Amino acid sequence: MTLIHIQGLSKHFKILNRHEGLKGAVRDLFSGDYRTVQAVDGISLDIEPGEIVGYIGPNGAGKSTTIKMMTGILKPSAGVLQVNGLVPYDNRIRQAMIMGVVFGQRTQLWWDLPVIESFKILKEIYKVDQKMFDEHLGMFHELVGLKALYSQQARTLSLGQRMLCDITASFLHNPQVVFLDEPTIGLDVSIKAKIRSLILELNRTRNTTIILTTHDLGDVEALCRRIIIIDKGKILYDGDIKKVNALFGAYRTLKLQIKDYSEATLAALQDRLTGTFGAGHGITIAQTEDCWTDVTIDQARTPLADVLAFIMTNFTVEDVRIVEISMENVVRKIYDGALK
């Protein structure tokens, strides 16, 4: 049976256009001057038990809004949404028993309590028996070695430690589905790796369905076979990651700080790259914040090392960074027909 069924789901927010100052505030009371944000705009999807689905897209795409509807926090404006056959918003308590949720930006632990006390409260709320509780904490301890942190107040934990504890808490009642909204945001590489292996292990041993949103394409590549890409509230792609992998994997961006940069430098760079690598070089250049120049390279067409060597010999580069393609760029490439 399908675990999550969504058909034509939408959510819009009505936002008051606020005016400045005291006069403005008074005017706002009566103005009726609203605008509508279409956060989720007619999406349809089905998720089967045991899947790990990457739900990704640029900032403001509608990911968190979708998750808030799936978890029953927000009521949809239109469409069908069922989790395990029930409407989440109308069955919040029953649904809570089969769901876990982690919002990377916020904690569900009681801020001033030692972590273990939060776990005990959750144990009571979800009616987890002692044996299962001990087994669960034992398993997490084996996987990520958390025990030493249990006596610490949640507010004294580092971001990464807090996230591991939050994930522990979300799986405590052995839910059928866990929603992870940006679980690796702001974390370093080693904690990210721990979180990834934890998620994989839980999915493997308990068949827990995982819905993951992230801006880290590394998370997606490590965890998900299926991805759903959403932009402006609409689904752009839903399918096997393999097809889009080329899109993520082949592109790298060189971020350059070029000495004595001017508009003319950008034009010169453009001309000389075309002169050297030919017309179909697959290199795009953009000026970004302050004095950084982004050179995005399709490695299937031109090797990154060649471009870097060329730039280093022909321009005076003060600083350079190599970054993976951003979510915004992936989406732009899909609009440009990259998946056709």
Ligand X SMILES: Nc1ncnc2c1ncn2[C@@H]1O[C@H](COP(=O)(O)OP(=O)(O)OP(=O)(O)O)[C@@H](O)[C@H]1O
Q: Which positions touch ligand X (CB under 6 A)?
A: 13, 15, 37, 39, 57, 59-65
- The distance of closest approach from Cβ of residue 59 to ligand X in the complex, given in angstroms and rounded to an integer, is 4
Query: Which segments of 157-303 does DSSP mark as H helices, in order?
Result: 159-171, 189-206, 217-223, 241-250, 263-277
- Residue 128 or 180: the one with the smaller Cβ distance to ligand X is 180
- The distance of closest approach from Cβ of residue 203 to ligand X in the complex, given in angstroms and rounded to an integer, is 22
Q: Strands 251-258 and 317-324: what pairing?
A: antiparallel
8 A C-beta contact, residue 17 and residue 35? yes
- Residue 44 or 156: the one with the smaller Cβ distance to ligand X is 44
- The distance of closest approach from Cβ of residue 212 to Mg ion in the complex, given in angstroms and rounded to an integer, is 12
Q: Which does 39 bind (CB under 5 to 8 A by kind): Mg ion, ligand X, none?
A: ligand X
- Residue 64 or 170: the one with the smaller Cβ distance to Mg ion is 64
- Residue 181 or 294: the one with the smaller Cβ distance to ligand X is 181
- The distance of closest approach from Cβ of residue 157 to Mg ion in the complex, given in angstroms and rounded to an integer, is 22
Burial of residue 30 (CB within 10 Å: 0-12, 13-18, 19+) is exposed
Closest CA to 38 of 4, 66, 71, 18: 66
Helix (H, G, I), strand (E, B) or coil at 25: helix
Q: Which does 280 bind (CB under 5 to 8 A by kind): Mg ion, ligand X, none?
A: none
- Residue 39 or 297: the one with the smaller Cβ distance to ligand X is 39
* Euclidean distance between CA atoms 164 and 235, whole angstroms: 30
Count of C-beta atoms within a 10 Å radius of residue 87: 15
Q: Which does 161 bind (CB under 5 to 8 A by kind): ligand X, Mg ion, none?
A: none
